[in-house]
Amino acid sequence: MAFRHQIETISGQNSNLCYQCSKCSAGCPMADWMDLKPAQVMHAIRLGQEELVLHSRSIWLCVGCETCSARCPQDVQPAAAMNAARVIARRRGIKPGVKEIGLYYNGFVNNMRLNGKIHDASVAGITQLLTGQLKDSMPLAWKLFTRGRVKPPPLPFGGGEFRRIYKRAMEREMREEQHP
């Protein structure tokens, strides 16, 4: 299946509707840190520039705030397309263009699998630990904890239902990859 069609199937977006007005890029709070602005990502998807999109930092820096979607006069949702690109990149084993985000992404999924819900402090702490920034974050973390702003992590016994759903989704994905 062509790259553009994969993105469109996963995201539910028609990239041909984008006429490059760049309102999405103008409103994106992360645009200054992206190598490709949201409008450029949409254009690259339309052109089938798979390697450019999947190896960009932009798809990993998108925070999914959907400001781009709210500004689009064509009702295109670039955030959904970028999420689809992240899904495809992960399936292909492409490492995120931003190390910290890759670690956070893995920590998020693993935390969900372990607990059945997200414990933000655990995900953030693991990311800080693996990026070597934990020591610098400890004074703030301790202050938040002592003021009751951060709760201790849950015991890892509640993720049973999520683990079953996750396992079924992974099995389905493997079947789809084997029989497109």
- For residue range 50-94, list pLDDT tens digits in order: 999 999 999 999 988 899 999 999 999 999 999 999 999 988 989
Q: Do 84 and 30 share a structural domain?
A: yes
Are 130 and 75 found together in one domain? Answer: no
Same domain, 67 and 109: no
Q: How many CB atoms lie within 10 A of CB 73?
A: 9
Residue 7 sits in the same domain as residue 83: yes
35, 113: one domain: no
Instruction: Give the residue from 91, 112, 147 where a domain finishes.
Output: 91
Same domain assignment for residues 118 and 134:
yes
User: pLDDT tens for residues 144-155?
Assistant: 888 888 877 776
Per the model's pLDDT, the better-predicted residue between 74 and 1 turns out to be 74
Tokens of 167: 């396992």
The Cα–Cα gap between 61 and 46 comes to 20
Candidate from 28-32, 68-72, 116-120, 136-140 with smallest mean pLDDT: 116-120
Burial class (CB in 10 A: 0-12, 13-18, 19+), 87: middle
| Shared-domain flag, residues 103 and 172 | yes
pLDDT at 155: 67
Mean pLDDT on 16-29: 95
Domain's final residue, options 91, 120, 142: 91
Q: Of 46, 69, 91, which closes a domain? A: 91
How many whole angstroms separate alpha carbon 124 and alpha carbon 8? 31
What integer pLDDT is reported at residue 159 of this predicted model?
60
**Do 158 and 121 sit in the same domain of this protein?**
yes
DSSP 97: S
Q: Which helix (H) or strand (E) holds 143?
A: helix 134-146
- Give CA–CA dist 47/57, Å, rounded: 18
pLDDT at position 53, please? 97
Domain that includes residue 129, residue range: 99-178
pTM: 0.69
